[in-house]
Structure 1
Amino acid sequence: MHHTTTKLLAGLLWVAATAALADRSDWPSDFIVGTASHDSTYDVYGSGWANLIADELGLSGSGAVTGGPLQNLALVNGGDLAFGLTTLGPAADAVAGQSPLAPGVPMDNACALFPMYATPFSITALSSSGITSIAGIPDGTRIGFGPSASTADAYFSAILEALGVSFERRNGSWNELSAQLQEGQLDVIAFAADLPIPVVSRLAGQTDVNIIAFTEEEQARVLETFPVSEYWIPASADTTLEEDVRAVAMWNFAIARCDLPEDFVYEVTRVTMENNDKLRDVHHVAETTIPENIVHNAVLPFHPGAARWYTEHGYEIDESLIR
């Protein structure tokens, strides 16, 4: 009986192994993940994720430094890259044919793969400015939005305009803008950055700062208009905070070419979702790279391989959001 069971098990394993090999017949032998600038969160996360997939699936894979979310969408959509990392703002523009890299051309070969993490939008001003609310930002206020064409520059500026704020736009690195704020050459910085923000922490150690909250009404208006999610900046994010601060955040998602083989993308999704501990070792933001967070994507269609893994494991995806 034991001998028969062993033979049966061996036969099943052989069949499974043979099927797995057959399923790989149309898989790519290697892949590249589009990330962003060197040493950025995208670069660290994307390269680490590529290594995880390559190791677990026995493939050759790596991350590639790119111009970031916008370019990754264009490179994946055009077939130059298998995978990329992006944010839902540029993704919404790309689907609508409004990407500045391909105006008038809807990008229809970039599919959602899995949620990465949320990038919160936060507002900082010196306490000496007297600015304590979004509605209280005076007309003509000099606001720094980070590097030109960054997520903050493209979307936080539009959010503040939608909330009736009239401002003078300033661009530069967060370090440059922080120095300008401290020297009185700037009034407010509108961040789209992972928390805690090092330059805010440094500022708070040298002078009094205000981290400005969205009101419930302001948050609701923004959620209706932009591809962002509700977010609370935890009091632990900065020593100046005594309680959590209401805000919004834009989710980052990994994307795949929609024409990649379904079984391949299924396995990529499986490895990612089943190895969150290894991803957290790559970067702490991966703590939110979990299947429950697929609900934050209502912009890009999910690759059918990814959607199959989620639905098999009890996570619902509207059929209209499956390629």
Structure 2
Amino acid sequence: MKTAALVAAGATPAFAQDGDREGWPESFTVGTASQGGTYFAYGSGWANLVADELGLSGGGEVTGGPMQNMALVHTGDAAFGMTTMGPAAESLAGENPIAPGLEMTNACAIFPMYQTPFSVTALSSSGIESISDIPDGARIGFGPAGSTSDTYFPRMMDTLGVNYERRNGGWSDLGGQLQDGLLDVIAFAAGVPVPAVSQLEVQTDVNIIEFTEEEQAQLLEEFPVSEFEISADTYSTLEEGARSVSMWNFAIADCSLPDSFVNAVVDVVMSDNERMVNIHRAAESTIPENWDKNQVLPWHPGAAAWFEENAGADISDDMIYSSDS
């Protein structure tokens, strides 16, 4: 079993010596999700930050979201990606719809991102102010096919007794369809503020619909989610916090990437939270002490070393990736 001792010193963004960069790629991509969603803004931002700090070519890539990112990173088609704990667990178990039966064990956790709240948005003119107001046969946009929204929100609506017509698409496109009256509701699972919702607020009046206490309790019992409140200052529409549920997101890496490279990437992202918050406000949760929110994915040894040295993390050996296991 590899241990964190493989990377004895915390990396710094100043890995300038050629010897320190043995095996490093000259370029990299980060699998994100559709434009208009939080993943794309957040992922493109940290990709560009890492590229600038480490003197490499890198950037975000539009994808179908967490499920596809697990597949891209597992196969090595993307060096990095971002995923949510639910889709990550399903992928490890061979239940990813992109490749049923394939256990995606070559995708390693590298740092905590933020919680993804599940929230519902409708136009104020629709009169929909609660989940129970959603009419039978409502056209609901659940995000890109295979995304966290598309994987879990339809199941949640089923649990809450909502009868709907399922629609998929990128967040920007779905926001436009909602505004044009082609959709009745959008069910978002994305870090807040969701860019598409913020854009809608500027252009029209919207209702951001919270779950009742009873609805929240039902979802907590049925799904791998936690309690969450969307704070009132997230959107201009909100006058008080909105009750929700959430799922943690983690950045992932191809487990075969050099330990020193991943260590340096993690150091760039985790050592200066202000830079990350400037990329997206959801990064307020991208802090070292949230390392323990990963109970699903094996850690990349280079990332485990960083958190053990800099965050006092106590990561068990069986949670650190080894090519021998």
TM-score by length of 2: 0.77
Alpha-carbon shift at residue 259 of structure 1 (Å): 2.1
Unaligned 5+ segments in structure 1 are 1-18
When the two chains are superposed, the root-mean-square deviation of aligned CA atoms in Å is: 3.2
Moved over 6 A (4+): none
Higher helix proportion: 1
1:87 aligns with 2:87: no
Q: Say if 1:273 and 1:166 are closer, same or farther in 2 by CA, change over 3 A.
A: same
Question: Which residue, out of 271, 281, 284, partners 2:268?
Answer: 271
Q: Say if 1:146 and 1:270 are closer, same or farther in 2 by CA, change over 3 A.
A: closer
Question: Which residue, out of 111, 115, 121, partners 1:114?
Answer: 111
d(CA) in 2 for partners of 1:39 and 1:109?
Answer: 29
Deviation sequence 1:271-319 (CA, Å, 0-9, x none): 3211223333434433322122333333222212212222232234455
Please list, as runs of the form range in 1=range in 2, the aligned pairs for 1:223-302 lying within 5 A after superposition.
223-302=220-299
1:218 aligns with 2:187: no
Deviation sequence 1:18-70 (CA, Å, 0-9, x none): x996973643142412234568654444344234334444x523015242433
Question: Which residue, out of 27, 31, 35, partners 1:35?
Answer: 31
Please list, as runs of the form range in 1=range in 2, the aligned pairs for 1:118-197 lying within 5 A after superposition.
118-126=115-123, 131-135=128-132, 137-172=134-169, 173-180=173-180, 183=181, 186-193=183-190, 194-195=192-193, 197=197
d(CA) in 2 for partners of 1:257 and 1:201?
Answer: 38
Query: Does the Cα contact within 8 Å between 1:146 and 1:153 map onto a contact in 2?
Result: yes
Query: Does the Cα contact within 8 Å between 1:112 and 1:254 map onto a contact in 2?
Result: yes
Alpha-carbon shift at residue 129 of structure 1 (Å): 5.2
**Structure with larger Rg:** 1
Alpha-carbon shift at residue 90 of structure 1 (Å): 2.8
1:53 aligns with 2:50: yes
**Structure 2 residue matching 1:165: 3-state secondary structure:** coil
**Structure 1 residue matching 2:91: 3-state secondary structure:** helix
Q: Percent identity?
A: 53
Q: Say if 1:303 and 1:242 are closer, same or farther in 2 by CA, change over 3 A.
A: same
Query: Does the Cα contact within 8 Å between 2:47 and 2:60 map onto a contact in 1?
Result: no
Higher relative contact order (CA 8 A, sep 6+): 2
Query: Does the Cα contact within 8 Å between 1:68 and 1:85 map onto a contact in 2?
Result: no
Q: Say if 1:226 and 1:311 are closer, same or farther in 2 by CA, change over 3 A.
A: farther
d(CA) in 1 for partners of 2:164 and 2:35?
Answer: 31
Alpha-carbon shift at residue 245 of structure 1 (Å): 0.9
* Equivalent in the alignment of 2:58: 62
Tell me the matched-pair count. 298
d(CA) in 2 for partners of 1:53 and 1:27?
Answer: 17
Q: Say if 1:201 and 1:298 are closer, same or farther in 2 by CA, change over 3 A.
A: same
Unaligned 5+ segments in structure 2 are 1-14
